[in-house]
Amino acid sequence: MSEPRRIAIVMSRLPRLIDPQATWLCGLRAALRRIQESGDLLVVAEGAAGTDFVRRGAERLRIPIEEATISAGLENGWVNEEGAIPPPDRALLATADLVLALQVRTNGNIHRALQERLARNGPVEIVDLPDTHPRAVRDDLIGRGATLWSPSGDGQLSFGPSNDSQDEKPSICELVPQPSPDEWTFLSHTTRACAGPWPSQSVPDYIDSLLDDAGEADHCAIAALERIVTQRKLLAASRMIRGGHAVVCLTAVPLLDLPPLRKFQTHRSRWDFEPYGICIRQRWLQERGARPVIYGNEATWQSLGEGDRPFFQFTSSPSSSPGTDWSVEREWRHAGDLDLHELPAQDGLLFVRHYEDAVRLSRSSPWPITLWPVPVEATPG
């Protein structure tokens, strides 16, 4: 009986926000099932791209795992001319008997590492699925001796039960008009996509949702709003809040006046907020302790008592761009999580980007729905 092979699954760095329908997830499921059925070992290296996904999938299928050590790559001379192949990738490709290339970016670390492996006559198989490799990468690696592996359709299926809902879904939704700025009596909370696990969700549970193609695997902005509606709760956060106080942030700016405040953050490659959220009657929020922000400077902060500090915000943050005046956001805050179970229908209003989003939310929302006031801007190029 032959010894089991050591097989590595390699991929380029994954995006922060994972698309549940991404082709590489189908390829990962198929590759793991192939290793399981062959009785081989899976080789992983801590720090290599996608290791958490590969390791969790192997645990789910009870595939034996071998840890590649950094010294393994060094001992086998895996250092290219510029020394540009990161140690985890060197160790992984130097240890494995066979490498399955799942998703490779042009001229990235994995592309260069695979070129080095092929130059050493190490077997490489390209997982042949649409949209996983640029044509230039595919042709380059094949020209150097890599072969193609086309997974079966069954192998790509989710690990969990089918996510197809048998419930009748509405195809229409009645939208409500937005109150004019003169009639505005709400405070608004905008949402954005959640890259990685939801708050209080563990990393293994998050990865499982993607491997299972579960409904909660979608972490885009509309999914974040849908989660708020389903849970009837706005979760407090402390990020970017002086003193580390956990608060829910809202704005008194009327919905029709919000679009001009939306800015693209180049350093983060995303918008500061998305055209999705919930508007809540100001009176209802005040009854539950919501207060307008206290704008000021360092002297203002030092003068505040502990009870007022969760509501402090620099008028112009020392780390912000010159001339940035945060007071235009007319921010309010609620200290701690905000329970929405008792929010009446007339005191809540959801806003979404597209009509199709409204139809999706109408299945679970007790509050009326309206559309974002203007077309969404294109991401700056």
Q: How many domains does the chain have?
A: 2
Using CA atoms in the order 312, 318, 321, 327, what is the torsion angle rounded to 10 degrees?
Answer: 20
Answering whether pTM is above 0.85, one says no
Residue 184 and residue 254 in contact, taking contact as beta carbons nearer than 8 Å: yes
Looking at the fold, whether 229 and 134 belong to one and the same domain comes out as no
Cα dist. 278→225, 248, 298 in Å? 8, 12, 32
- Name the one residue in this structure whose structure tokens are 């099932």: 33
**Do the domain assignments include residue 379?**
no
Last residue of a domain, one of 106, 123, 156: 156
Residue 231 and residue 199 in contact, taking contact as beta carbons nearer than 8 Å: no
Residue 172 belongs to a domain: no
Residues 116 and 213 in one domain: no
Q: CB pairs under 8 A, 24+ apart, for 126-129?
A: 126/101, 127/27, 127/30, 127/31, 127/100, 127/101, 127/102, 127/103, 127/151, 129/23, 129/24, 129/26, 129/27, 129/156
Do 262 and 342 belong to one domain? Answer: yes
Angle of CA points 309, 192, 186, to nearest 5°: 60
Q: How many CB atoms lie within 10 A of CB 147?
A: 11
Confirm whether 169 is domain-assigned: no
Residue 237 per-residue DSSP state: B
Residues 353, 248 share a domain: yes
Q: For the domain that residue 134 is a member of, what is the CATH number?
A: 3.40.50.450
In a domain, 133, yes or no: yes
Asked if the structure places residue 176 within a domain, the reply is: no
Residue 162 lies in a domain: no
Q: Please tell me whether residues 135 and 215 are part of one structural domain.
A: no
Do 227 and 344 lie in one domain? The reply is yes
Q: Cβ distance 283 to 306 under 8 Å?
A: no
Domain that holds residue 338: 181-371
Q: Within this chain, do residues 243 and 342 fall inside the same structural domain, yes or no?
A: yes
Residue 165 lies in a domain: no
Could you read off the pLDDT tens digit of each residue along the chain, which spans 381 residues? 578 999 999 999 999 899 999 999 999 999 999 999 999 999 999 999 999 999 999 999 999 999 998 766 555 555 554 556 888 988 898 899 999 999 999 999 999 999 999 999 999 999 999 988 999 999 999 999 999 999 999 999 999 875 555 455 556 788 999 889 999 999 999 998 999 999 889 999 999 999 999 888 999 999 999 999 999 999 999 988 899 999 999 999 999 999 888 887 776 667 778 999 999 999 999 999 999 999 999 999 999 999 999 999 988 755 555 556 778 889 999 999 999 999 999 999 999 999 999 999 998 999 999 999 875 554 444
Start-to-end C-alpha separation, the chain: 57
